[in-house]
């Protein structure tokens, strides 16, 4: 009898434990793995849709499967996350379980023709060049570049409008050339070939075509890459000096330090140039697209343009050369206390144009946490942040598809509001190393253009202002519309110009 009572008592004790373990098993089975998007094409999966219209693919899947789901891209499983909590979890990555190495390999292959199999170059870039970039472009070191950048930006605008007559040109040519040339002179020095701008622009606009390996269509970009790489190799050969630790004549320590590391590894001249070209692309790419879309938004919305320009004119005052002296003071001269509406305009632009973060590989089984549940990313699979969904959530941003220049401005204090908006600087261990310089250069080019220039978009056949076309193939940030043209002329002195 005693034994029977003992067995019954043991069974009663075991029941709650079994129930708990079973519930945990069900929870793991039902909740930890994101739903897999159904597709009728084996192996290829959703790759074709992703290549031709990633935004439409992400939006359709989000509506059908929820904010976290898994797609197949050419044999790879990629979990897409689109809530603030899951994106933050990816960006934090405290355990460094998520790695962007494979994405960088494909990007560097497309941008600089570095073979994907040449993992040594990628390891050098990640382990040796990125720390130099992070140090030289830190907030405390920006003064080294910003005064030169501002001076060159003003000079290029003044040279462009040496006569009083106006001109019509693509907006991306105007802001892209100013951004590219000013950045190149400030970082790489006077020996850098500024004529490479057009090849760089052609390559940047078509990187996705090279990655997708679309026959014939990608050839112009591949040819531009070949010419650009040859110019970079020649620039390093002509500008490198062996005195001391070695340096680029007229270049910054950022340029010299990166080349010094690459040369110390006894790489070929072509490999040194290719690694340097990858670094160059990272410096330029997002900044040009961002300033294009901000200027386009302001030009289309005339009232917003007028308000931002009035703020700039008020901040600069009546002194003719005040802008030049202000830019010479350093990056703090353009901080939000002086131009809060412009800062709001920048944030609103980045909110609208940010599409995805980088694709990262799970080096171990990795948990991505949401607000009410966690998702398991198995080792060897990938995760992709899709912040566009959050940035266009009408619960967070009323009328999210409208451009509101003062969306991030506190109406009572006139100060910049804190924001949940995700912009493409990444986060955690993967935070963009050049974000401080990119933010300064974006604001600087906007101030210079709006201070010196009168710009207006061209009208269509019906007399209505044409808005730039959004490329459906955009990833990272929206691609520019290279055909969108504007009329440009020097501002008259009576309009607040110089």
CA–CA separation, 293 and 353 (whole Å): 8
What is 184-236 written as a DSSP string? HHHHH-TTS-GGGHHHHHHHHHTHHHHHHT-TTTTHHHHHHHHHHHHHHHHHH
The closest of 11, 10, 60 to 37, measured between CA atoms, is 60
Residue of 424, 430, 98 whose CA lies nearest to 289: 424
114 Rama class: left (phi>0) / alpha (psi -120 to 50) / beta: beta
**Residue pair 342/306 in contact by the 8 Å Cβ criterion:** no
Q: Say if residue 258 carries a ligand binding annotation.
A: no
| Nearest partner of 108 among 229, 198, 288, 223, judged by Cα | 229
Taking each helix axis as running N to C, give the angle between helix 219-239 and helix 197-205, from 0 to 180 degrees, rounded to the nearest 10.
Answer: 140
Q: Position of tokens 């959530």? A: 393
**Strand duo 68-73 + 76-81: pairing:** antiparallel
Tokens 């080349």 belong to residue: 259
CA angle 108, 112, 113 (to 5 degrees): 90
Annotated binding site for heme: 432
Annotated binding site: 432
């Amino acid at each position: 009898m005693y034994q029977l009572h003992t067995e019954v008592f043991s069974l009663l004790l075991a029941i709650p434990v079994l129930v708990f373990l079973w519930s945990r098993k069900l929870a793991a089975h039902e909740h930890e793995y994101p739903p897999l998007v159904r597709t009728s094409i084996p192996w290829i999966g959703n790759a074709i849709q992703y290549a031709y219209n990633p935004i439409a693919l992400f939006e359709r899947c989000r509506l059908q499967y929820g904010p976290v789901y898994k797609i197949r891209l050419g044999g790879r499983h990629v979990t897409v996350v689109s809530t603030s909590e899951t994106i933050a979890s990816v960006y934090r990555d405290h355990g460094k379980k998520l790695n962007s190495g494979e994405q960088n390999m494909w990007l560097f292959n497309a941008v600089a023709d570095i073979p994907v199999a040449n993992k040594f170059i990628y390891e050098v870039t990640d382990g040796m060049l990125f720390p130099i970039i992070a140090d030289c472009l830190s907030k405390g070191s920006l003064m080294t570049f910003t005064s030169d950048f501002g001076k060159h930006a003003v000079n290029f605008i003044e040279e462009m409008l040496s006569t009083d007559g106006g001109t019509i040109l693509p907006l991306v040519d105007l802001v892209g050339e100013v951004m590219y040339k000013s950045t190149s002179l400030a970082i790489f020095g006077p020996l850098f070939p500024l004529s490479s701008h057009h090849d760089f622009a052609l390559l940047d606009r078509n990187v996705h075509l090279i990655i997708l390996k679309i026959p014939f269509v990608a050839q112009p970009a591949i040819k531009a890459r070949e010419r650009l790489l040859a110019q970079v190799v020649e620039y390093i050969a002509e500008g490198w000096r062996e005195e001391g630790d070695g340096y680029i004549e007229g270049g910054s320590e950022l340029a010299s330090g990166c080349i010094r590391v690459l040369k110390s590894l006894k790489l070929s001249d072509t490999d040194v140039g290719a690694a340097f070209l990858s670094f160059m692309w990272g410096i330029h790419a997002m900044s040009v697209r961002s300033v294009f879309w901000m200027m386009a938004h302001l030009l289309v919305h005339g009232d917003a343009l007028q308000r931002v320009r009035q703020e700039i004119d008020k901040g600069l005052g009546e002194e003719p050369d005040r802008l030049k002296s202000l830019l010479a003071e350093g990056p703090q001269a353009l901080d939000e206390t002086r131009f809060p509406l412009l800062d709001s305009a920048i944030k609103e632009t980045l909110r609208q144009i940010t599409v995805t973060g980088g694709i990262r590989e799970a080096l171990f089984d990795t948990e991505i946490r949401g607000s009410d549940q966690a998702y398991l990313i198995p080792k060897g699979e990938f995760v992709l942040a899709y912040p566009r969904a959050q940035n266009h959530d009408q619960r967070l941003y009323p009328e999210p598809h409208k451009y509101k220049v003062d969306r991030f401005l506190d109406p009572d204090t006139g100060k910049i509001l804190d924001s949940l908006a995700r912009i493409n600087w990444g986060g955690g261990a993967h935070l963009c190393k050049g974000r401080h310089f990119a933010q300064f250069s974006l604001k600087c080019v906007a101030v210079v253009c709006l201070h010196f220039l009168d710009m207006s978009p061209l009208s269509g056949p019906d007399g209505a202002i044409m808005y730039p076309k959004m490329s459906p193939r955009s990833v990272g940030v929206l691609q520019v519309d290279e055909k969108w043209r504007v009329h440009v002329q020097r501002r008259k002195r009576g309009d607040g110009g110089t």
